[in-house]
Every structure is written in structure tokens, then in C-alpha cells.
């Protein structure tokens, strides 16, 4: 029976979800799991420059995994694929265009585009494309998948209310107090089955001013790039609604530690590379020495200037 009255629960929002026409799921890795099941994927080629969670999803569903290298601009270095093999492309820092992906699809036919670092880049026509929400917004889960192959079986709906505590906690306190909860939540999805996006996350995603978020992220990226492009070893384009600013320098590990002491938290992305790749490989070098600087909607011009001042104190600038 429907409940009427009593205490007021979380507010319902009525804005538009940015990826309104995609399949809403519980996490990014299950977007791939969904595709594996819907498309019957038996073989897939992954980049070495990637966390093990994607590989683990493939192995969990019995998909044979191969690997490829990337060039200095994050583009795949690929020999011919097997006739039944799929190519998994990661859009690192939003640097790969839809035109490039379309050309890869023409060449290899079976292509999956991972836009987890380019949330506001619309999907290329006919290319299965996945997005994750946690990298861009204060939500505990959520992902979107564009695909023409829809599963017909019943898929349960996720629930988020027990996992949102660390996000609410950081809103009123410091990040350090809730870091373990955040980390535990990341690991939680390793064993979660495919589920529909939770009602709570779907509601929150209708509350955001996406135009403001895109503008703020883009402007923050631009400001950093204007000051850092001369020392950045990467040749970058400016993506719309940027994920983070990848500063590629010497001694990245040392500078990351110094910034952390200054309360500027810069993650090490794809840390699994340190175990899976040689020290002299590009992937190992990029994981170690690219500093993903925050450019998200929480920050403005003054915050970017503050980051630049602290980089100057470390001797980078």
C-alpha cells in the first residue's frame, strides 16, 4: 500500500538527466558486464593503461582478454583484431574525439568507448559508450550505457541510502574523516551484479545545473592550461566539462606527496599498472608522473590560482 503522510523524506527533483536516453545502471564496470551479456562478447582487447577492475569484469563473465599499448597522445596502438574480438577504448582526460572513434569503428567494427573521464561528451553514432557518475558528482554510485542491445531479463534496482553517508559527511566535515568509507564504497562494486540505477542517485542527477558545471570545469581546465602548457609534456586539447587537468612532469610521485602535505589531493590513477607493466613502459611512466589536478565544479578561478601558487612552491613552475 502507498504511504501518505508522516515525516518528509528526501526531496524529489524534476530536472533533466544529462544522459536521459541511456540505460541507467549501478556502476561503470557493470555497463561493460551488461554489454558482454547483451552482445555475447567472447574476446576483448583492453589497454594496459587501465585498472584491473575492467579486466576482472571480463574474466568474471568468461571473456578472453588481450591487451594493447597507447601512444604518447593516449591513442591505441593496434594490430588487426580477431574477427570476433572487441576493442575497448578509454577516452583518457577527454582527449579522443568522436570522429576518431567513428574511424576506429569503421576499421575494427566492434568498438566500445569508455567515457568515464568525459561525462559531457555525447556518444558517437553506433558505438556502445559508457559513463560513470561518481567521478563527476557527489553520488555514491551510478552509470549510463548507450547501446542498441537491451537485455530483456528482469534487472533489480540498486539502493544507495546506506552508501551515501561519506558524501554527506564530507559536506559538513573534512574528507579525511570519511576517506575509508569512500574507499570501501569503491571496492564494494567489485562483486555487485548488474542492477538498475538506484532511485536516490537518479533523483540527485536531476538536481544539477549541468550548464554551470560544464562551464566551470572547462574554465578551470583552461586557466591551468594557460599557465602550465609550457611545462606540461602532454599536448592537450581543452575538453568540454573537463574531468581533471593531467600535468605530466618529471618526479610526479615526489610532487604528488608535496601537494598532499599542502592538502591538495592528487590521485594516482591506474595504479595496477605498476604491477602489470615494465618500469620503462609508457604506461608505468604515465601512471607515476601524470598529476591529475582537480578542475571540478567545487572550485573557481581563485582555487586554480591557489593550486598554481602551491605548484610554484614545490618548484614545478
Domains in the chain (CATH in brackets) are 23-204 (3.40.640.10), 210-314 (3.90.1150.10)
Cell of 122: 555525447
Distance in angstroms (rounded) separating the CA atoms of residues 120 and 94: 9
CA distances from 82 to 34, 63, 65, 112, 217 (A): 22, 14, 12, 15, 39
pLDDT tens digits in sequence order for the chain, 317 residues long:
889 999 999 899 999 999 999 999 999 999 999 999 999 999 999 999 999 999 999 999 999 999 999 999 999 999 889 999 999 999 999 999 999 999 999 999 999 999 999 999 999 999 999 999 999 999 999 999 999 999 999 999 999 999 999 999 999 999 889 999 999 888 888 889 999 999 999 999 999 999 999 999 999 999 999 999 999 999 999 999 999 999 999 999 999 999 999 999 999 998 889 998 999 999 999 999 999 999 999 999 999 999 999 999 999 98
Distance in angstroms (rounded) separating the CA atoms of residues 210 and 227: 26
Distance in angstroms (rounded) separating the CA atoms of residues 28 and 186: 11
For strands 43-47 and 244-248, give the pairing: unpaired
pTM equals 0.96
Q: Report pLDDT for 219.
A: 98
Secondary structure letter of residue 94 according to DSSP? G
Distance separating the N- and C-terminal Cα atoms of the chain: 64
Cell of 209: 545545473
Strands (DSSP E) found in the chain: 23-25, 43-47, 64-70, 76-77, 85-90, 111-114, 129-132, 143-146, 244-248, 290-294
Map residue 130 onto helix, strand or coil: strand
Map residue 198 onto helix, strand or coil: coil
Amino acid at each position: 500500500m502507498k504511504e501518505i503522510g508522516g515525516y518528509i523524506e528526501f526531496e524529489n527533483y524534476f530536472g533533466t538527466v544529462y544522459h536521459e536516453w541511456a540505460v541507467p545502471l549501478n556502476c561503470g564496470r557493470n555497463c561493460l558486464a551488461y554489454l558482454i551479456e547483451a552482445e555475447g562478447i567472447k574476446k576483448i582487447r583492453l589497454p594496459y593503461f587501465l585498472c584491473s577492475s575492467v579486466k576482472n569484469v571480463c574474466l568474471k563473465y568468461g571473456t578472453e582478454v588481450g591487451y594493447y599499448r597507447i601512444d604518447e597522445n593516449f591513442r591505441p596502438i593496434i594490430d588487426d583484431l580477431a574477427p570476433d574480438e572487441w576493442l575497448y577504448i578509454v577516452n583518457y582526460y577527454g582527449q579522443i574525439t568522436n570522429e576518431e572513434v567513428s574511424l576506429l569503428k569503421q576499421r575494427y567494427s566492434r568498438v566500445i568507448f569508455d567515457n568515464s573521464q568525459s561525462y559531457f561528451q555525447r556518444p558517437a553514432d553506433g558505438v556502445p559508450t559508457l559513463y560513470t557518475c561518481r567521478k563527476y558528482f557527489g553520488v555514491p554510485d551510478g552509470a549510463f550505457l548507450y547501446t542498441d542491445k537491451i537485455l530483456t531479463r528482469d534487472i533489480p534496482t540498486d539502493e544507495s541510502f546506506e552508501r551515501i553517508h561519506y558524501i554527506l559527511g564530507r559536506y559538513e566535515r573534512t574528507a579525511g574523516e570519511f576517506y575509508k568509507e569512500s574507499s570501501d564504497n569503491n571496492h564494494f562494486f567489485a562483486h555487485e551484479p548488474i542492477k538498475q540505477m538506484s532511485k536516490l542517485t537518479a533523483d540527485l542527477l536531476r538536481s544539477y545545473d549541468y550548464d554551470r558545471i560544464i562551464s566551470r570545469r572547462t574554465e578551470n581546465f583552461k586557466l591551468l592550461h594557460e599557465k602550465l602548457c609550457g611545462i606540461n609534456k602532454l599536448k592537450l586539447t581543452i575538453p568540454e566539462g573537463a574531468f581533471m587537468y593531467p600535468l605530466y612532469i618529471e618526479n610526479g610521485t615526489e610532487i604528488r606527496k608535496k601537494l598532499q602535505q599542502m592538502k591538495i589531493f592528487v590521485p594516482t590513477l591506474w595504479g595496477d599498472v605498476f604491477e602489470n607493466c615494465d618500469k620503462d613502459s609508457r604506461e608505468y611512466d604515465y601512471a607515476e608522473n601524470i598529476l591529475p589536478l582537480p578542475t571540478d565544479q567545487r572550485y573557481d578561478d581563485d582555487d586554480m590560482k591557489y593550486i598554481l601558487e602551491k605548484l610554484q612552491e614545490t618548484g614545478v613552475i
